Structure 1
Amino acid sequence: MERSGPAASQQLSNGPQGLLDLIGRMLGELRAGAAVPVELDDELERRLGIDSLARMELMLRLEQAYDVRMPEHEVQQARTPRDLWRALAAATPREGMTLATPSPRAPAPHSGSGRVAAHAQTLVEVLEAHARDAPERPHITLLGEGAPTTRTHGELLQRASAVAAALQAEGLRPGQSVALMLPTGLAFFEAFAGILIAGGVPVPIYPPFRASAFEDHLLRQARILDNAQAVLLIGDDRTRAAASMLRLAAPGVRRVLAVETLTTGAGAPQPAPRGPLDTALLQYTSGSTGQPKGVVLTHANLLANIRAMGTVLEVDAQDVFVSWLPLYHDMGLIGAWMGSLYHGIPLVVMPPQDFLSRPSRWLRALHEHGGTLSAAPNFAYEILATKVPDDELQGLDLHRWRLAINGAEPVHAQTLQRFARRFAAHGFDERAMMPVYGLAESAVGLAFRPLLQAPRIDCIDRHLLHRAGRAEVVPCDAPQATRVVACGLPLPGHEIRVVDEAGAEVPERVEGRIEFRGPSATGGYFRNPEATRALFDGPWLDTGDVGYVVQGEIHLTSRAKDLIIRGGHNLHPYELEEAIGALAGVRRGCVAVFAAADPASASERVVVLAETRETEPAAKAALRERIGELAVALLGVPADDIVLAGPHVVPKTSSGKIRRVACRELYEHGLLDAPARSMTLQLARLSLGAAARRVRAPLERVAQAVVAIWWWTLFGLGAMCGVAVAALPSLPWRKRAARAIARGMLWASGLPLRVEGGPRVPAGPMVVVANHASYLDWLVLTAQLPATVRIVAKQELASHALLRWVLERVGTRFVARGDPRRGVEDTRVLVQAARNGESLMFFPEGTLTREPGLMPFHMGAFMVSAESGLPLLPVSLRGTRNVLREGSWWPRREAVGLVIHEALSPQGHDWQAALQLRDAARSAIAADCAEPVLRAGEGAAATAAMQ
């Protein structure tokens, strides 16, 4: 940032020309470095294209240049440079920011996170439980002008009950929708809770921000009100005019109510019982890829998501959530507020405008209030990492900030690294940064990175991803490398899969459409059966996103509707948009790359829409040429059309996301600025690749079907041979024959199998433990372990008479699950068998799931090893889950690995010795199973705990 030498007073005495020059130079950075003439009465937004983020940048530069602290309200309200000049005259001398010393917090006066509301079935029951347990406990602290204002749980329930009584007096009936157009404030929480208590369904909509987008805003909100069938609209003094106009546009709204009058009543609401399956919220999607749709979320959906996130994040009574996120957005509403409400932890909240006017205020709140949890989109972390001046960070202490959740938009690897580097000196631990993945259709959260792990960045071949849909690892400094951030594992009780165009699940590192299912999943869109049908693929929900999986973690590469299919290649817009946005002359964040139909060629065109204030033909021609070069370099194909438009042409959602579908519609209807062709279509160069891909896809599916048929034929033959083997008179004969059949089946299947560490197998009796990822594990282990090893299986397999007879004849031992008394007795029997010289093989996870992840181990195998004194042999299975997932009947030909580790000797015969064996074995298996290590409560096995 620039800084002038003369004193601020002398600069001001020289008149406003210095201000105009500074604005011109800042704008000139977007126009190839040329100075831009600026007049005192030019409109900042319409004429100069200075939006909220640019206004923030301008304020920071003015403060640096004039050594002052600008009055933020005046800067936010300024319409012209003349208004900014008046604000400069009212500015105070610049001094280092003074951060208050965080006061030590007493332990929270409740027994533990979420326990108070553990049995609640609705959000109203959650609030009532906390109001009964500790009505004086602070719940929400609102930051803003003046001293912070706090609401306790008891106060919130009292004022929300007054709102509920007033709404019922207005004729609100259970199940009817009520729209909320309120800025961030205590009134929002009171009105939202009041609607629920009255039996209504809240519909948060966002207030208008920009005068230039006022008409578009009202039209979009009117469509929401019409779809939601809202009967009442709640606003305040600041939104009353817009709310009144909305009522005219949405005739179903009977009345616009002022929140100030609703919260002052003293009446008691009539009981309006609502159950867990009743709708608690209509969350309208941002509309980044189409018209907004109302996601129906029940109380059960919301509580399942909140509980699952709390389990993964290990929320406890000492946590404090700090948020500036908008309350009409799911991350701010559900993640920040409802999560804090459920777990009974303090929520410190500020209006989004306070962050945008001075981003360091977010960090200041974390410092002064001892914040441990916070969340924001990637752009907010980028601002803090690159824009905030050092003197606003003096004395900043972030050591309590244990989770910085990064989601709601593409997460950039460079941002993560820059943020961690800058704030390490202020106590920020890079492991606190948590990239996540979520969507409104899953309430808010779907995938979270494991705790205490630094973000994982996958460097892959960009061209191979575009050409073949495979995420092949390359060195991060390779020219073709692109960096993709891992966004976590599915929440407990939830599942994610990646499927191809035919709906078949794809292996790891293969790109496809992302689908999910789980207790947080919506039942559909409100009054939109067509969109609801498109959302569901059987029991799975289509996220509309594209990505791939590595070791269970989801990696996002694009939106499905944003995907450009050009010449048979899948092209992703995000990286090109970011690169174009960094060009001089282009407005950052105002670039859209999308596909448009070409009737002449029956194909899709690659269109680049970029906002610029360039008007000179030569400068625009140079800009088009540079954009064309970037398109070829990053996409591998030329852009068919490059549209250079003026400011505010690119449509965005309320949260600032590019609406690419809307861009395409505007383009195809000729409603954008007149386009200028940068390159002609080059279909001839791409036709061969397109034809090859069109032919290859069905051939691959046929090949997979042939493999599946052959393998199930082998399985049937093996099963028949197994019955014959079971009839042999001697157990050693039966064991050796079963081993030979397993080896023959693996050989005939052609499955690539790599075995490491074979010589490490002890010569005598032993206890073997292996991870359990697939039913194929039995076949691989039977083929590779000594024939003397007897597998320990769950009792459920003995329920079928013929199967039990075969398994018993080949020496299988059974153990009961879920019955502690029977389990203890089974362990005693196995200990005695081991002492008698039997070799036993356990799956210590106890079960298998379709989701990747090494689950916690049960203690049986390790007690057997410790008490018998037999060595423990850890074995890692890798890749079997990709061959045949649990619940799937469609095997694939994928590489399988078996790693035999060094045998472990028990260091005693007691419980402590068994624990040491368990920890050592799990560590060894985790090192080579190529799957994430799950802790207790994580993974699909935790489904019951989330209900």
Structure 2
Amino acid sequence: MTRLPHATSSTPSSERSAEKLLEIVRQTVAELRPYAAEGLRVSLHSVLDRDLGLDSLARVELWSRVEREFGVRLPEELFAAAETPDDLLHALQHFECAAPEPQQGGDDYRPTALTDDLAPDQAQTLVEVLDWHVQRHPQRIHVRLLGDAEQSDDISYAALREGAAAVAAGLQRRGLSPGQRVALMLPTGRDFLHGFFGILLAGGVPVPIYPPMRLSQIEEHLRRQAGILGNAEACMLITVVQAKLLARLLKPQVPSLHEIVTVAELGADSDAFVAPLRQAQDLAFLQYTSGSTGQPKGVMVSHANLLANLRAMGRALRVSGDDVFVSWLPMYHDMGLIGAWFGSLYYGFPLVLMSPLGFLARPARWLWAIHRYGGTLSAAPNFAYELCLSKLDEAVLEGLDLRRWRLALNGAEPVNPDTLQRFAERFAGYGLAASALTPVYGLAEATLGAAFPPLERGPLIDRVQREAFQARGKALTAAADASNVLRFVASGRPLPGHQLRIVDGSGIELPERTEGHLQFKGPSTTGGYFRNPQESQRVRHGDWLDSLDLGYMAAGEVYLSGRVKDLIIRGGRNIYPYDIETAVGNLPGLRKGCVAVFGCGDAASGSERLVVLAETREQEPAARQGLQQAISRVALDLTGVPPDDIVLAPPHSVLKTSSGKIRRAASRELYERGEVGQPQRAVWRQLLRLLQAAVQAQAGRYWRALCAALYAAYFWILLLLIGSLTWLAVALLPRLAWCRRMVRMAARLFLHLAGVPLSVEGLAQLRLPEVRVLVANHASYLDGLALCAVLPAEFSFVAKRELAEQRIAGRFLRKLGTCFVERFDVQRSAADTERLATALQAGQSLVFFPEGTLTREPGLLPFRMGAFVLAARTDVPLLPVAIRGSRMVLRDGQWFPHRGEIRVSVCGHLLAQGRDWLDAIKLRDQARQVLLQRLDEPDRLLLAS
């Protein structure tokens, strides 16, 4: 390392040098990714390319700033070898460095005040998250428990750790071994918090199950939990004192259960516990998603799953230690347990926690808690927002201030667009911003969150043509004055690092605005259901998991349209029809196996109505009334909520399949049409109608599948044929201009014969004689073909060097005059940049895909700087080109093409204001905004931040 001339030698302090170096790196990264600057975390061990997104040209700028600020000249080999700021720091510390010379113009460098130590990002387990906070701020308030008298019982991080440690010691005294499951049947409160973490500290796996609504139901309630406890092979049950004696009834039904205790009993002694070894892939807890009489499904949530989901949700919601979460959600519910408690634990903001019963009894308590404690975050199912609309009058709300409530998350059940609109209008007068209402999508199999919308946008309602959607599954946008429409609420985009897709029944990914099965994948996706390999296998499709929900994608956001499963969501509670059907079918006076339970949408409550349809031969009014009361009691005991409607129907009213299974959807349609119990048509007429409907539906599915398969085969055969002939012609033609014209004609011919219309806007700008740099978005492998069909012969593509080495593609691209650049060797990449600058100065126009790659997910990826630095340094106009529709025709990773139109928009020329780094960044940002205005896709740069 050599010193710059006229520099004063000095040996830098290690800490000061590290701080100064990190500030330079932060500033450089912040200029590249301005949306990420607020939460930017740069450490000495951040990888320059993978973590910070510094490509070769950004490294050139970083190197020049480091040399200028430290007064040194870095060795050339370090330029290619350095992977982290720590590598640079070691080099700086081994040589004398000169004091920086005064700045004479150039970059306006101002260090940004960014904090590294924001959250336990290096934690591998939930226990490490708690320990991280205990070590840094043990007395900070973690949870404020609200009682009936509105007095708060505050729990600090240290108090939580201390109470949990006492429980852990008690569990180990009773023989708990690492990995064994311990059930928690406790209401919201200090005991639940201590009990859950006590199980984790002792090495066990918590299994939260919901407590009984009333003490009078404990015996029946415990009997229903036997299925979950048996599936989990729980060795202990931690519960309340009142349930302890009756819980002994479970022991004969659950052979693994050998101890039933309370938190007080576990923490009675002061022994220390032995901390077992915990790893990221260990189970954090089991989240059960079904009831007892059905087949229990325990979602396995590892520590890695949990922390990945918390980190992704935190980035999407931009949470910080200044937030306050107010929650009444039950702790056995994933939105209450993970979203409220674990989210506040991880990011260090206080959680104001109240009982679910406290909210249901007095919904205004929720809103007043947000007012009193300055709540910024809160979440609830749709029914809770509807309850506030219907049950609260103005007198109860006088003086309410909701201005700090920045995110009112709505999830866990179907979101009603009317509820969103009316809640925004009603509470706007109390300071609630309409943009605070945030519909989200999640499920236990994804740990919790799967998709969140952009912040501060507010709800997005899609109006689609009813007939096209119901007949063909096409979500075609309805005209503004159309009346026969369906409305769906956008649930947002996939969380950072996660993916969603819509597929048909054969697993083939569908284009946007087409209804299908919603699948997801990502680091927070469960490994499956505990001790239930059949169900785990049923929902897994390679790396993807089937949500069993129906929906469609539009502009990168997911819209839920229905459910494949028969799950009923009422009042935020999951109700499985089989549980109720089995219990009700055993009642005397009803026909066993002839009970259908289903849900119907209810606009008044914002939730779903629970309907029980049961067959009986009873005609006496008093007896029928007794049956209805008995059904209501059974349903209430099983679900905690009474049925909204009980229909006693004559025999053969409940529709079944040929194998005797209940046809719930068909029975619901019969109920909604008001035809239950009406005189039925002749059997042969019913059979004929059913056969006709079945044949038509099946024939339609087969025909669509056959047409799609035939089109895909035709597409690839056509591409192979035209591509082979074009390759041969290009190889033989002697002139570059002839080769390019041949490729242009072939590309147009292929798109025409493939039935892919190509429309071009702004084509006249391509015919101008001046030299230009063209930058286009990259959504599909068809993008290059579309540009070949559009561009004049004087444009040369810029491609990655790996393509030049391919035997077939390399020769073809070389004959077309393609310019190749290095992506991974930073020294060669910088040299390639100089070579491209020479080509521009010699009059050669260049075509770039600045995203550098493509993905199956919609959205504009971050741009590499090469094209923009070249345009700025050579003072050449930049021409953005937007390509729409290609991703829908052929998506990355999906070799099944779909019919669709490709539209190419040539935008206006852009000129850099100068030739330095910041001018190139401004040019890049201008081009990005121009493309986003033309594309119906989200900005992935915002998502990455």
Match of 1:299 in 2: 303
Whether 1:882 aligns to 2:888 is: yes
Change (3 A) 1:876 1:242: farther
The answer to whether 1:736 aligns with 2:741 is yes
Indicate yes or no: 2:835 matched with 1:844: no
Out of 147, 153, 156, which is 1:144 matched to?
A: 147
- Residues 511 and 548 of structure 1 are in contact (CA less than 8 Å); yes or no, is this contact kept in structure 2? yes
Cα offsets for 1:421-447 (capped at 9, x unmatched)? 111122212112111111111101111
Q: Equivalents in 2 of 1:418, 1:579: separation in Å?
A: 12
In 1: Cα distance, 2:643 partner to 2:825 partner: 54
* Structure 2 counterpart of 1:400: 404
- SS of the aligned residue for 1:446 comes to strand
Q: Which residue of 2 aligns with 1:678?
A: 678
Are positions 1:871 and 2:895 aligned together? no
TM-score, with structure 2 as normaliser: 0.76
Q: Following the alignment from structure 2 to structure 1, what is the Cα–Cα distance between the partners of residues 655 and 688?
A: 24
* Partners of 2:306 and 2:524 within 8 A in 1: yes
Checking the alignment, whether the CA contact within 8 Å between 2:219 and 2:246 is kept in structure 1 is no
How far apart are the structure 2 equivalents of 1:422 and 1:227? 46
Once the two structures are superposed, residues 619-668 of structure 1 have per-residue CA deviations (whole angstroms, 9 ceiling, x without a partner) of 9xxxxxxxxxxxxxxxxxxxxxxx999645657986979999xx999995
Partner Cα separation in structure 2 for residue 925 and residue 653 of structure 1: 55
Partner of 1:926: 932
Secondary structure, in 3 states, of the residue corresponding to 2:230? helix
Q: Residues of 2 paired with 1:932 and 1:288: CA distance? A: 43
Paired position in structure 1 for 2:609: 590
- Deviation string 1:485-538 (CA, Å, 9 cap, x unpaired) is 111111122111111122212222221111111111111111112111212122
Provide the rounded CA distance (Å) in 2 between the counterparts of 1:166 and 1:529: 33
Specify the code of the residue in structure 2 equivalent to 1:356.
L
Q: Give the Å deviation of 1:206.
A: 0.6
Is residue 113–residue 317 contact of structure 1 (8 Å, CA) maintained in 2? Answer: no
Aligned to 1:577: 601
1:599-614 equivalence runs, <5 A: none
> 2:265 and 2:245 mapped to 1: Cα distance?
17
Give the Å deviation of 1:809.
2.6
Secondary structure, in 3 states, of the residue corresponding to 1:117?
coil
Separation in structure 1 between the aligned mates of residue 691 and residue 233 of structure 2, nearest angstrom: 49
Shift of residue 470 of structure 1?
2.1
What is aligned with 2:474?
470
Distance 2:629 2:328 in 1: 34
Q: Which residue of 1 aligns with 2:8?
A: none
Contact 1:580/1:591, CA 8 A, preserved across alignment:
no
Residue of structure 1 in register with 2:838 after alignment: 832
1:328 aligned partner: 332
Is it true that 1:760 corresponds to 2:758 in the alignment? Answer: no
How far apart are the structure 1 equivalents of 2:640 and 2:467?
31
Is the 1:122–1:299 contact (alpha carbons within 8 Å) kept by the matching residues of 2?
yes
Contact 2:635–2:642 under 8 Å retained in 1: no
Paired residues of 2:341 and 2:351 also in contact (CA < 8 A): yes
Match of 1:782 in 2: 788
Are 2:504 and 2:517, in contact at CA under 8 Å, matched by a contact in 1? yes
Which has the larger displacement, 524-533 or 404-413? 524-533
CA 1:723 to 1:563, structure 2 compared with 1: closer, same or farther past 3 Å? farther
Amino acid at match of 2:871: S
Describe the superposition over 1:563-593 as per-residue Cα deviations: whole angstroms up to 9, x where unpaired: 99xxxxxxxx9995326989xxxxx853349
> Alignment partner of 2:774: what SS?
strand
1:745 matched residue in structure 2: 750
User: Quick one: which amino acid aligns to residue 741 of structure 1?
Assistant: A
The question of whether the paired residues in 2 share the 8 Å contact of 1:177 and 1:231 is answered with: yes
CA shift, 1:234, in A, is: 0.6
Q: Which deviates the most, 797-806 or 708-717?
A: 797-806
Separation in structure 2 between the aligned mates of residue 538 and residue 336 of structure 1, nearest angstrom: 31
In 1, Cα distance between equivalents of 2:637 and 2:497: 34
Deviations 1:812-851 (A, max 9, x none): 2233335555544433333332232221122222211111
**How far is 1:465 from its partner?**
2.6
Residue by residue, what CA displacement relative to the aligned partner does 1:769-791 show, whole Å, maximum 9, x if unpaired?
11111111111111112222222
Residue 277 of structure 2: SS of its match in structure 1?
coil
The amino acid of 1:368's aligned partner reads R
Shift of residue 862 of structure 1? 1.9
Separation in 1, partners of 2:729, 2:495: 45
- Gaps of at least 5 residues in structure 1 are 1-109, 565-572, 583-587, 594-606, 620-642, 943-947
| Structure 2 CA distance for partners of 1:835 and 1:544, relative to 1, 3 Å | same
How many residues end up aligned between the 2 structures? 775
SS of match in other structure, 2:601: helix
CA distance in 2, matches of 1:658, 1:723: 72
Identity within the alignment, %: 47
Q: How much has 1:857 moved relative to structure 2?
A: 2.4
Q: CA RMSD in A?
A: 3.6
Q: Confirm or deny: 8 A CA contact 2:632 2:642 kept in the other structure.
A: no
Change beyond 3 A, Cα 1:866–1:652: farther
Equivalent residue of 1:159, what SS? helix
Match of 1:126 in 2: 129
The 3 A distance-change label for structure 1 pair 827 and 451 is farther
Q: What is the match of residue 184 of structure 2?
A: 180
Deviation of 1:178 (Å): 0.2
Q: What secondary structure does 1:510 align onto?
A: coil
Q: CA 1:739–1:336 in 2, change beyond 3 Å: closer, same or farther?
A: same
Q: Is the CA contact 1:176–1:200 (under 8 Å) kept in the aligned structure 2?
A: yes
Aligned position for 1:541 = 545
Name which of structure 1's ranges 237-246 and 856-865 shifts more when overlaid on structure 2.
237-246
Which residue pairs with 1:442 in the alignment?
A: 446
Q: Which amino acid aligns with 1:860?
A: G
SS at match of 1:547: strand
Confirm or deny: 8 A CA contact 2:378 2:409 kept in the other structure: yes
* Equivalent-residue separation in structure 1 for 2:440 and 2:866 (angstroms): 35
SS in 2 for 1:426: coil
Residues 1:482 and 2:501 aligned together: no
Alpha-carbon distance in 1 for matches of 2:752, 2:114: 58
Secondary structure in structure 2 of the residue aligned to 1:139: strand
Question: What's the counterpart of residue 161 of structure 1?
Answer: 165
Read off the aligned partner of 1:739 and give its amino acid letter.
R
Whole-Å separation in 2 of the counterparts to 1:914 and 1:664:
68
Cα drift, residue 810 of structure 1: 1.4
| Native 8 Å contact 1:288 1:652 kept in 2 | no
- The letter for the 1-side match of 2:909 is A
Deviations 1:193-239 (A, max 9, x none): 11111110000001001478656533331110010000011112354
Q: Matches of 2:869 and 2:883 in 1, distance apart?
A: 22
Determine if contact 2:217/2:637 at 8 Å carries over to the other structure. no
SS at match of 1:311: helix
> Quick one: structure 1 residues 795 and 357, their matched pair in 2 at CA, closer, same or farther if it must change by over 3 Å?
farther
